[in-house]
Amino acid sequence: MLILASASPSRRQLLANAGLDFTVELSGVDEDEVKLSLVAERAGPQDVAETLAELKAQRVSKRHPSAMVIGSDSTLACNGRLFDKPPTLAAARQQLLDLRGQTHELCSSVVVARGGARLWHHNERARLTMRPFTESFLDAYLARAGDGITASVGAYHLEGVGAHLFSRIDGDYFTILGLPLLPLLFFLSGHGIGLETSPEKSP
């Protein structure tokens, strides 16, 4: 049994596109409280992502001890500031203005747990440079992108119209979407979870 401990639509879509058979169960971890505590302890962006990913995976795996549970999280840092998912389109607009013309770092972490214990984890970073766009361009982008971008820590969907925001991207595409997919698939295949075990491939 494979469980994704995340509400992220993009992570869910990535696993589905990869042909994995899984269910989704939210962890109930208070991410805002955990982030505040970690930031107070001067934890870096990658440490924040890894800690949250592990907490999510462990919390759900304790409910389903025999299942393999995937937890994942992403953080965005720019000029020493840690950004959160914007709660509204207005907040997303201001966040994108703050990131405009800047290079920011996106840190993603994925953890697999079973029986409440971490079995494996992988961290990746990407660097993204936003164009020095005009506010009229930004308004057009927000009108096209819609409320869905508030589910993204960067307020952009690189797989969609969000690609127009950038002048340069250095890093793994899947990592930017919120899940270092290739190392995860390799790990799962070593534990008998992959295309060869999906219902479509059964005799």
| Nearby residues of 63 by Cβ (< 8 Å), 6 or more positions away | 25
On whether the CB atoms of residues 1 and 67 are closer than 8 A, the answer is yes
pLDDT one-digit tens code per residue, 3-37: 999 888 899 999 999 999 999 999 999 988 998 89
Instruction: Reply yes or no on whether the pLDDT at 51 is more than 70.
Output: yes
pLDDT of residue 200 exceeding 50, the answer is no
Q: How confident is the model at residue 39 (pLDDT cuts 50, 70, 90)?
A: confident
Beta strands in the chain (DSSP E): 2-4, 23-24, 68-78, 81-83, 103-114, 117-130, 166-170
Contact, 107 vs 123, CB < 8 A? yes
Q: List phi, psi (to 5°) of 201.
A: -95, -5
Q: Domain limits of the chain?
A: 2-198
State which H helix or E strand residue 65 sits in.
none
pLDDT in tens, 128-162: 999 999 999 999 999 999 998 998 899 998 988 99
Q: For position 196, what pLDDT does the model report?
A: 67
State both tokens at 114. 């079973």
Give residue-wise pLDDT tens across range 100-136.
999 999 999 999 999 999 999 999 999 999 999 999 9
**Residue 201: pLDDT band with limits 50, 70, 90:** very low
**Helix (H/G/I), strand (E/B), else coil: 89:** helix
pLDDT band at 199 (very low <50, low <70, confident <90, very high): very low
User: pLDDT by residue (tens digit) across 164-190?
Assistant: 999 999 999 999 999 999 999 999 999
Point out the catalytic residue in the list 73, 98, 139, 172: 73
| Three-class secondary structure of residue 178 per DSSP | coil
Q: How far apart are CA 128 and CA 130, in angstroms?
A: 7
Number of residues in the chain: 203
- The Cα–Cα gap between 152 and 9 comes to 10
Distance (Å, rounded) from C-alpha 177 to C-alpha 167? 17
The top-level CATH class assigned to 2-198 is alpha beta
For residue 49, the model assigns a pLDDT of 95
Asked if 172 is an active-site residue, the reply is no
